[in-house]
Amino acid sequence: MTLRTVTVFAVAAVLPLVIGAALALRWRPPLRVRAELLAFASGALLVGLAFELFEPAVAVLGPLPVFVALLAGTALLVAVKSALGREDHTGLALLAGVLADGVAENLALGVALIGPAAGATPLLAGIAANNLPEALGGASAMHDAGWPARRVLLVWTATATALAAATVAGYAALADLGPLPLAVVRAFGAGAVLATLAVEIMPDAYETGGPTVAFATALGFFLAFALT
């Protein structure tokens, strides 16, 4: 896979952040809509991390070493999320959460694009689907707090640019790794994405939308699986 193609994947993953921020300046979607979008994204991300990150790692290393790397990735994201906390729902706090989750997801996307398992379409779909409601919520909170529209859009555009760069950097830095260390990195990335699902995306969807958001999760899972 060429660096140009990786860049296209990176831009496609983060473009919904800019779109969501722009929409939030003019439209307040019902909370239910945001919950359904988050739930849909969680289903797609589950497929992406399982088939584009975890399964290729197991094929190289076997289940036990991959499980250790998976736990390490999970532990790192749990530590980051614990440091950030979940009580603060201001725009800046939501942005910090998007950055923490986004760096993990976009680095994982860069890794998923390396080698014979390249493609990562389900993972891309999940990241993009998750970014739209995250930006809608964060940008809305910033605008409601008195941030000028131009500043809100600039901040979210800068965030999108940084996360796209994380995808490209992850690919460029790790593309020459051998099969064994690359498998470790894949499993670590899977653990990090899994942690974002468990502590952030799925709880947010459930708290806002209730148990019926499971249908959106199932739809996201099925459609992402169809892309594999």
pLDDT exceeds 90 at position 101: no
DSSP state letter for 117: G
Residue 91's pLDDT is 59
DSSP state letter for 62: -
Residue 84's pLDDT is 73
Give residue-wise pLDDT tens across range 63-95. 999 999 999 999 999 998 888 765 555 556 667
Hunting for tokens 């919904």 — which residue is that? 16
- As for how many domains the chain has, the answer is 1
Q: At what angle are helices 91-112 and 63-84 packed, to 10 degrees?
A: 160
Q: Calculate the CA dihedral of residues 200, 140, 91, 215 and round it to 10 degrees.
A: 0
Give residue-wise pLDDT tens across range 16-55. 999 999 999 988 888 899 999 999 999 999 999 999 999 9
Give residue-wise pLDDT tens across range 131-142. 999 999 889 988
Q: Calculate the CA dihedral of residues 179, 182, 187, 192 and round it to 10 degrees.
A: -170
Q: SS3 for 203?
A: helix
Domain with 193, as residue range(s), is: 3-226
- Taking every pair of C-alpha atoms in the chain, what is the biggest distance, in angstroms? 52
DSSP state letter for 114: S
186 in Cβ contact with 179 (< 8 Å)? no
Residue 29's pLDDT is 83
Residue 100's pLDDT is 80
For residues 148-171, give the mean pLDDT.
Answer: 94
Short-list 212, 224, 227, 219, CA closest to 35:
212
Q: Calculate the CA dihedral of residues 177, 182, 184, 189 and round it to 10 degrees.
A: 120
